[in-house]
């Protein structure tokens, strides 16, 4: 028995006027996802429990079968695992974005123009992060380069967390009211603010940014610290579900969750975390993992989420269609060589184009098994509203994986008779 998850980050959305008041999932041409919904089952799952922040960290942890209310300690510690950073119990890790702020005026009055600095290349970012370590950082604080705009800062022995805001939540807004603050530890929050201010003063003159501006690209003219937390301890996927598995993603956050629970990461050349990612490479990697004896594969594709944050309507539809046309045929054909398999398609959370950030509504899932038939004979396809009509709803998102693996979909899809 093989189990496959295909997760399109942020695929779920609200109706979009420019798409005829359809959601991107409704509008997209996605015959393979529709086949799974029509011939298997579709419903809604709440991946983000009350009291937990709406993010890819908490939502993907939930989809993988672990309750974020129990295990989640922050976003950056998960990314640190993927980056090979070892954290002590009193260390605090922060996500460090390279962002573009508006020029002129005092730091507080600047506007968040781009949370990704025009999706800066990893090579350019590595040089900038190295410069930040040498010219901006202080004792007990170190910056680690990641991929594109996503990096990590570790404060040794900090022993505190502060109130920090994701930069993708404040696009076009004045940053002053969103700077780090902590009433219980104002001095530490002040240090975070100082680092961010110093980074802007220094990076505005950095040679990499001068070269980017000359090419018409946005400069990475400030760091932005958020997603902080302490070391996370989570059970083993094999111990919980009794099977071995792999995680396939271009994003350190997702690889970090997988590594934390014992899933083996597969690195795919050309996997970028944006719309130009290597779709076929991810699909083939999953099929090869199954052939090597793994029982479970988790394919994560970031592109729809990035398009939602950037208000790229056409590209969000296109990202969904690329998943359907370039991932689904390869994995579905590859799985047919096994006696039995189950496949589930879903987003982790909505990333509505109209809001450009994550929301916490339940998301649609579609599940198909080789030896089972559909639950509901009246399903038009795979989208938010078709899923809602079936009445199939899983309120505790981490229990979806129990239904998928431990109970072999018996409560989701009826066996063939």
pLDDT tens, position by position, 32-56: 999 999 999 999 999 999 999 899 9
Q: Determine, yes or no, domain membership for 77.
A: no
What stretch of H or E contains 224? strand 222-229
pLDDT in tens, 217-232: 999 999 999 989 998 8
Indicate whether 359 and 388 sit together in one domain: yes
- What pLDDT shows up at residue 416? 45
Residues of the chain with pLDDT > 90, as a percent, come to 84
Indicate whether 349 and 268 sit together in one domain: yes
350 in Cβ contact with 14 (< 8 Å): yes
Indicate whether 113 and 175 sit together in one domain: yes
* Alpha-carbon Rg for the chain in angstroms: 21
- What pLDDT shows up at residue 413? 78
pLDDT beyond 90 at 264:
yes
Number of structural domains in the chain: 2
- Alpha carbon separation from 62 to 110, 298, 397 (Å, rounded): 36, 13, 6
pLDDT in tens, 148-183: 999 999 999 876 656 789 999 999 999 999 998 765
Indicate whether 316 and 348 sit together in one domain: yes
Alpha helices in 351-409 (DSSP H): 384-389, 399-401
Single residue among 171, 198, 229 that ends a domain in this structure: 229
Q: Determine, yes or no, domain membership for 263.
A: yes
pLDDT in tens, 73-120: 888 999 999 899 999 888 999 999 999 999 989 999 999 999 999 999
- CA quadruple 150, 155, 156, 160: dihedral positive or negative? negative
- What pLDDT shows up at residue 374? 67
Cα–Cα distance for residue pair 230/250, rounded to 1 Å = 23
CATH for 24 = 3.40.720.10
Structural domain including 218 reads 82-229
Span of 235-239, 259-263, 413-417 with lowest mean pLDDT: 413-417
Q: Determine, yes or no, domain membership for 301.
A: yes
Indicate whether 318 and 378 sit together in one domain: yes
- What pLDDT shows up at residue 145? 95
108 in Cβ contact with 161 (< 8 Å): no
Average pLDDT over residues 207-217: 97
**For residue 248, which of 285, 208, 209 has the smallest C-alpha distance?**
285
Cα–Cα distance for residue pair 412/414, rounded to 1 Å = 7
Query: In which band, very low, low, confident or very high, does the pLDDT at 126 lie, cut at 50, 70 and 90?
Result: very high
Indicate whether 269 and 213 sit together in one domain: no
Residue 112: strand, helix, or coil: strand
Phi, psi of 401 (to 5 degrees): -65, -35
Residues 6+ apart with CB under 8 A from 215: none
Phi, psi of 57 (to 5 degrees): -65, -55
Average pLDDT over residues 369-390: 84
- What pLDDT shows up at residue 415? 52
pLDDT in tens, 312-340: 999 999 999 999 999 999 999 999 999 99
Taking phi over 0 as left and psi of -120 to 50 as alpha, with beta for the rest, 112 belongs to: beta
Average pLDDT over residues 16-21: 98
Cα–Cα distance for residue pair 201/204, rounded to 1 Å = 6
∠ CA(60), CA(166), CA(23), 5° rounding? Answer: 60
Cα–Cα distance for residue pair 174/112, rounded to 1 Å = 7
Cα–Cα distance for residue pair 328/79, rounded to 1 Å = 27
Q: What is the mean pLDDT of the chain?
A: 93
Q: Determine, yes or no, domain membership for 382.
A: yes
Full-model pTM: 0.85
Q: Determine, yes or no, domain membership for 76.
A: no
Q: Determine, yes or no, domain membership for 260.
A: yes
pLDDT beyond 70 at 310:
yes
Indicate whether 239 and 348 sit together in one domain: yes
């Amino acid at each position: 028995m093989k189990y496959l998850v295909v997760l399109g980050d942020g695929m779920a959305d609200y109706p979009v006027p420019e798409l005829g008041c359809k959601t991107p999932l409704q509008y997209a041409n996605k015959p393979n996802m529709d086949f799974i919904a029509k011939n298997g089952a579709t419903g809604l799952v709440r991946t983000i429990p009350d009291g937990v922040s709406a993010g890819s960290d908490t939502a993907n942890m939930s989809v993988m079968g672990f309750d974020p209310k129990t295990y989640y300690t922050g976003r950056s510690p998960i990314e640190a695992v993927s980056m090979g950073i070892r954290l002590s119990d009193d260390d605090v890790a922060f996500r460090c974005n390279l962002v573009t702020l508006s020029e002129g005026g005092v730091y507080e009055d600047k506007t968040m123009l781009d949370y990704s600095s025009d999706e800066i290349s990893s090579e350019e970012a590595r040089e900038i992060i190295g410069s930040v370590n040498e010219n901006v950082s202080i004792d007990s604080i170190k910056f680690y380069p990641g991929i594109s705009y996503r990096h990590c800062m570790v404060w040794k022995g900090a022993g505190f967390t502060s109130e920090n805001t994701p930069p993708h939540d404040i696009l076009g807004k004045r940053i002053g009211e969103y700077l780090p603050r902590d009433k219980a530890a104002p001095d530490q929050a002040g240090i975070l603010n100082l680092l961010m201010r110093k980074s802007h003063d220094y990076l505005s003159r950095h040679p990499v940014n001068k070269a980017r501006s000359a090419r018409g690209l946005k400069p990475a003219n400030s760091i932005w610290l958020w997603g902080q937390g302490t070391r996370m301890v989570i059970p083993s996927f094999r111990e919980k579900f009794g099977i071995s598995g792999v995680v396939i993603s271009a994003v350190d956050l997702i690889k970090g969750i997988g590594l934390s629970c014992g899933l083996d990461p597969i690195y795919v050349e050309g996997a970028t975390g944006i719309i130009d990612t290597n779709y076929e490479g991810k699909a083939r990697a999953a099929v090869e993992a199954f052939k090597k004896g793994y029982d479970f594969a988790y394919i994560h594709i970031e592109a729809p989420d990035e398009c939602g944050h950037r208000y790229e309507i056409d590209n969000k539809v296109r990202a969904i269609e690329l998943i359907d046309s370039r991932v689904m045929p390869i994995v579905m054909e590859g799985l047919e060589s096994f006696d039995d398999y189950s496949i589930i398609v879903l987003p982790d959370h909505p990333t509505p184009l109209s809001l450009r950030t994550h929301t916490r509504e339940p998301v649609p899932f579609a599940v198909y098994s080789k030896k089972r038939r559909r639950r509901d004979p009246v399903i038009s396809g795979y989208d938010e509203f078709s899923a809602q009509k079936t009445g199939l709803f899983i309120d505790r998102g981490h229990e979806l994986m129990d239904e998928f693996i431990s109970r072999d979909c018996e409560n989701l899809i009826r066996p063939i008779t």
